[in-house]
Chains A and B, each alone.
Chain A
Amino acid sequence: MTRRLVLIHLFPTLMNLYGDRGNILCLERRCRWRGIELEIRSLGLGDAFDPEDADLVFIGGSQDREQRAVARDLLEVKGPGLTRAAEEGTVILAVCGGYQLLGHSYRPAEGETLEGLGIFDARTEHPGPSARRCIGNVLLQWQDQTLVGFENHGGRTYLGPAARPLGRVLAGHGNNGRDGTEGAVWNRCFGTYLHGSLLPKNPRFADHLIALALARRHGDSELEPLDDALERDAHAWAARVAKGDGLLAWLAEKGRYLVRAATVRER
């Protein structure tokens, strides 16, 4: 029998800052390639959220302007359903702006503090318009392996006692650049700042999300292995870049260039 799952994509046109679509595509393909049907439903501003429908929920990142409209909608329209889904074990992946809004609150660089859903015991504060953004490649320790991605956020997130971090920062800034944590996990909800897109280069994390959703809906979380050679190469390459091997390679390349400039006038 074909196993079916439903993924609810929240605000696909508003919360799509940078490549987050790749996460949806990755989940869909990794299900399809194993004969699992993943139905994707998009919900925009004003659309009701029914927790009975959802096996997986995805919410991406956005600019501050869109984030206000989304924050209002989350509180007034989708909040109760989404909170119930989180409590009942629906798998939720929230990236960047979406992650911030699933915490207790987000104080942007300018303007009023936005109230979040409080699914994660976390608060986010932007230190102000002149503060440096946390930008760059990130490498995390996650369980017995690593996650790679790219972060780009002004807000600094601090976790409370009820939230566990998604991973430990090996390279990059993470939640706030201070305490070495990145992201948040509560029940089967995962929040993170990692773009990249996150899932294609971290196929075992993608499969972890699919397996959790399958276990809850079908009681059978078995996933046949896929050929992930390219994914592993991309992961390893990104990890190297994050660790600074990329910087060394860059310096070596420029060094060669300078040597050539000094010694060769014209070919």
Chain B
Amino acid sequence: MRTRPPIAVAAARLAGRISRATGHGGTALPGLIAQRLDPKLLGDLLQQLPLGHALISATNGKTTTAHLVGAMLREAGQRPLGNQAGSNLERGLLAALLARTDARGRLRAVDTTVGVFEVDEATLPAVIEAAAPRVVALGNLFRDQLDRYGEVDWVAALWSKVVQQLSDRTTAVLNADDPLVASLGREAKCGTVYYGIEDLAVARPSRPHASDSHACPSCGRDYTYAGVFYSHLGHYRCGPCGRERPRPQVYATQVHARGLGGCTAHIDTPEGSFALDLRLPGLYNLHNALAATATALALGAPLDAIQRALAGMAPAFGRGETAEVAGRQVSILLVKNPVGFSETLGAVFEEAGQRHMLLALNDGIADGRDVSWIWDADVDPARGRCATLVIGGRRAHDLALRFKYAAESPGEDGPEPIVVAGDVRQALDAALERTPRGETLYVLPTYTAMLELREIIARRAGLRRFWDTG
């Protein structure tokens, strides 16, 4: 280990202290400063983790998966260190590590400390280069923030390169149901573990329109699907070249979905099997649970600890959290892209009845400046079933148009949405006012709208501030 000039560490620690003292958490600022002053610090600190570290990336589900892995490792008696409350860029990992670093740049870690980090899709190569991880878990690739990354293919090519370079000391945990992700394992030198859903009873026969990667990367033809779980995830096969979904080693059978209530399933792993009762909403969270199970197993957690953690799991930050505000239950479900939006609406409306809804669309950099993606989402589950529909955020009108054009005739889906463009606080008040006491308001915001709304809701409901969670 190199000795660090203490200046980067000292500056970062000072920034962290000031930031916390002003009550703003400032989860990434110390990391940003340290990264600027000493680009090699991240690798140095990662290498000091006694039990190594796991990296988790995906377009959707990385926060939840990392959250699950952390809980599993805690149940197994390890001391996971993660970045779930903060940034998933290099600076966020650094900030999390620096919070446990002494003035001389040494990680204050006990011998059961292990790193579990969620990493932005495009940042993954730099983080892998900084220090070789024990596990890299890759969940899915959807179109998300194309204005930032250009094209899904570009991220796929980046990942392909980085997976090829992993040595046999790393295990790649790959989603068998996502053809783009599964194909990464074909020529890898590292160990691979695939996970997936084996039960086609919960699949749809054909692909809905919000799909991304439907063409076989080796021959360019469309895959044929025996069943689709959502978007392009399912049981696929390429007729012309014979490529097909790999058989997963960690998989779910006998799946019974309960919408927002989660699902039950039978989980098989190389270490044995168990009955899963998951309280996280939607089929996408079953994929997250499988990814977390495979990752925790690769990090040496025993199966009973994994099972206990899954059974006790509450939703992660802004991903299905519920709070009570003024006598109403408020459930916050982050949406970031067409697939997430479609699947979340599907889960909210899975059980019969009307719902009170607040949707908030922002166009900040962290949301994606381009709001075109809403046209790729399937909003049909919500049509005609909103007792309240308030639409807020900076691009509220765009989202209201999405609903207007979903209706075959004007007014067919019930009263027009209430558009409160701009400040999300006013939109929240408008929605709460229209939700009777004792009922639930479902809040589906994009990322920056979620941060704003959660802060307001947390203050009113007495939730912990987000940098205190996880």
Contacts and interface: CB of A to CB of B under 8 A. Distances in A.
Interface of A: 13-14, 16-22, 25-26, 29, 32-33, 63-66, 69, 133, 135-137, 150, 152, 154, 195-197, 200-201, 227, 230-231, 233-234, 237-238, 241, 246, 250, 261-262, 264-267
Size range of the chain B interface in the assembly: 35 or more
Contact of A18 (B21, B24, B376, B459): B376
A162 to B, nearest CB: 30
A18 B22 contact: no
A241 B24 CA distance: 28
B375 A152 contact: no
B397 A234 contact: yes
Given A21-B209, A152-B147, A233-B397, 4 more contacts: A29-B407, A64-B153, A237-B421, A265-B21
Contacts of A265: 21-23
Nearest to B210: A21
A234 B400 contact: yes
Contacts of A237: 395, 397-398, 421
A192 to B, nearest CB: 13
Given A13-B214, A238-B398, A137 B405 contact: no
Contacts of A231: 401
B372 interface: yes
Contacts of A22: 372, 375, 402, 405
B370 interface: yes
Interface string B353-371: 0000000000110000111
Contact of B369 (A14, A29, A133, A150): A150
Contacts of A200: 375, 401-402, 405
27 contacts: A14-B215, A16-B209, A21-B375, A21-B376, A22-B375, A25-B405, A25-B406, A29-B407, A63-B151, A64-B153, A133-B150, A135-B369, A137-B369, A150-B147, A150-B369, A152-B147, A196-B371, A200-B401, A230-B397, A230-B419, A234-B398, A234-B400, A237-B395, A241-B394, A241-B395, A266-B23, A267-B459
A201 B402 CA distance: 10
A246 B397 contact: no
B222 interface: yes
A18 B370 contact: yes
B215 A201 contact: no
A57 B295 CA distance: 48
A201 B398 contact: yes
Contacts of B438: none
For the complex of A and B, the 3 pairs showing the least CB-CB separation, nearest first, are A19-B372, A22-B375, A234-B397
Contacts of A238: 395, 398
Contacts of B397: 230, 233-234, 237
Given A21-B375, A69-B220, A234-B400, A195 B370 contact: yes
B3 interface: no
A230 B401 CA distance: 7
Contacts of A261: 22-24
A267 B400 CA distance: 34
B362 to A, nearest CB: 10
B153 A18 contact: no
Nearest to A257: B24
A259 to B, nearest CB: 12
B372 A63 contact: no
B128 interface: no
A171 B204 CA distance: 44
B370 A150 contact: yes
Contacts of A33: 409-410
A197 B410 contact: no
B111 interface: no
Interface in B428-468: 459
A69 B146 CA distance: 21
B404 interface: yes
B220 A65 contact: yes
A18 B150 contact: no
A150 B421 contact: no
A227 B407 CA distance: 14
Nearest to B423: A253
A265 B18 CA distance: 12
Contact of A25 (B23, B211, B370, B375): B375
Contacts of A233: 397, 419, 421
Nearest to B403: A230
B271 interface: no
Contacts of B421: 233, 237
A66 B147 contact: no
A133 B376 CA distance: 22
B146, B402, B406: most-surrounded residue (chain A CB, <10 A): B146
Contacts of B23: 261, 264-266
Contacts of B376: 16, 18-19, 21
A26 B405 contact: yes
Nearest to A250: B364
Given A234-B398, A266-B23, A150 B372 contact: yes
Given A150-B370, A197-B375, A135 B147 contact: yes
Contacts of A29: 405, 407-408
Contacts of B147: 135-136, 150, 152
Contacts of A136: 147, 369
B238 interface: no
Contact of B375 (A19, A230, A234, A246): A19
Contacts of A154: 150
Interface in B322-377: 363-364, 369-376
B363 A241 contact: yes
